[in-house]
Amino acid sequence: MEQTFIMIKPDGVQRGLVGEIVGRFEKKGFYLKGLKLMTVERPFAEKHYADLSSKPFFHGLVDYIISGPVVAMVWEGKNVVTTGRKIIGATNPAESAPGTIRGDFAVEIGRNVIHGSDSVESARKEIALWFPEGIAEWQSSVHPWIYE
């Protein structure tokens, strides 16, 4: 089983989309392994987005992420990184298909509701950064009804 890091950004939290987003991942058959509501400090946000530090939008992105609480989550399941990105939709909401989170709930690229790891490697790094205390180890009783 693979794990991914998903973050509901401040606009998603402020708009009351947390339950809807969690529900979409649960309904797909993924397992929630870690969840916390938190306010992000600037140095932490800069570390999270370090790979984008040379981009012109970096400072605006950091300002956005620290502007309000976020919900940090770890999800587990078969191909959860790739499938999670499909559930989320394209970075630009205008290119996101209806039925995706961004396709349904976002208009502006700078207010696109959610972040998801883009690879297994980045998921490992992001999970280690956001959940240094570790995550819950459990398996759902419906596991055999979802996975062969």
Catalytic annotation, pick one of 48, 59, 115, 143: 115
Q: Is 104 exposed, middle or buried (0-12, 13-18, 19+ CB in 10 A)?
A: middle
| pLDDT given for residue 126 in this prediction | 98
85 assigned to a ligand binding site: yes
Q: Which CATH architecture has domain 3-134?
A: 2-Layer Sandwich (3.30)
- Distance (Å, rounded) from C-alpha 125 to C-alpha 146? 27
Known active-site residue 115? yes
- Tokens for 20? 């809807």
Q: What is the predicted pLDDT for the residue at 118?
A: 96
Is 9 annotated as contributing to ligand binding?
A: yes
pLDDT at 53: 95
Question: Is 124 labelled as part of a ligand binding site?
Answer: no
How high does pLDDT run on average in the chain?
97
- Annotated binding-site residue? 55: no
Alpha carbon separation from 118 to 53, 99, 126, 140 (Å, rounded) = 17, 20, 10, 25
* Per-residue pLDDT reduced to its tens digit, 117-141: 999 999 999 999 999 999 999 999 9
Distances (CA, A) of 86 to 3, 22, 103, 129: 15, 15, 11, 23
Answer yes or no: are the C-beta atoms of 129 and 97 closer than 8 Å: no
* Helix, strand, coil share (%) of the chain residues, nearest 5: 45, 20, 35
pLDDT band at residue 76 using 50, 70 and 90 as cut-offs: very high
Q: What's the maximum distance between 2 C-alpha atoms anywhere in the chain?
A: 47
